[in-house]
Amino acid sequence: MTIVTNKYTLVLIVVTLFAVVVYIGYIGLKPYHEALVVEATIDQDNEQLELLKEEYIYLSDFSDTVAFFVEYRLDRDRTRGKQIELLRKIIDDSNSVAETRQEAQEKIIQITNYLEKELQLENLIKARGFEDSVVFIQPQSVTAVINQEEFTRDELVQITDLITTVTGKSIENIFIVPNRSKR
């Protein structure tokens, strides 16, 4: 019996020692693994920082006028995105009344149509020879800011005609604004 007990004890000691070695190895490698994770995160952050620097340099090369149009479009898109997000919450809310959900869906469709028409108008205005423009369509009116200090009568007629054709808004609800800071 002592041989069996000794073999059993010996196996138990070997298994215990193996477990201790594995545990110590795990504890010893854990800081190394964490260091790799931290290093990878730092590398990723540095890459993102470099991309941001490149984008900043690219944007800083623009004139104030170009930055105005870029910034205006970004603000418009952010505003519309927030509106759509709120409307989606209403649609997804199980406590919302069916009529309210329907109105929210219709409003999302309307905003999407506005976005499409704004982009279409901005491209059509560029195609007419104007340097840049930004268009903002609202339920009752349309505002177009165009990168030009002043307009001739023919230019105003061209722009107004484009806007009425695309949006169906009447002339008295169309506002064309020159960007006087043009360089």
pLDDT digits (tens, 9 = 90+) for 53-83: 444 444 444 456 677 888 888 888 888 889 9
Determine the residue type at 112.
T
Burial of 166 (0-12, 13-18, 19+ CB in 10 A): middle
Mean pLDDT across the chain, nearest whole number?
A: 76
Three-state secondary-structure class, residue 136:
strand
Which whole-number Å values give the CA distances from 156 to 55, 110, 141, 167, 179, in the listed order?
35, 27, 16, 16, 14
Three-state secondary-structure class, residue 4:
helix
| pTM of structure | 0.61
Three-state secondary-structure class, residue 170:
coil
CB 142 within 8 A of CB 163: yes
CB 150 within 8 A of CB 178: yes
Mean pLDDT across 40-64: 50
Q: Is the pLDDT higher at 122 or at 49? A: 122
pLDDT tens per residue, range 100-127? 989 999 999 999 999 999 999 999 999 9
The angle subtended at Cα 173 by Cα 143 and Cα 78, nearest 5°, is 30
Task: Name the superfamily (CATH) of residues 62-178.
Answer: Stage III sporulation protein AH-like (1.10.287.4300)
Determine the residue type at 81.
G
Mean pLDDT across 119-144: 92
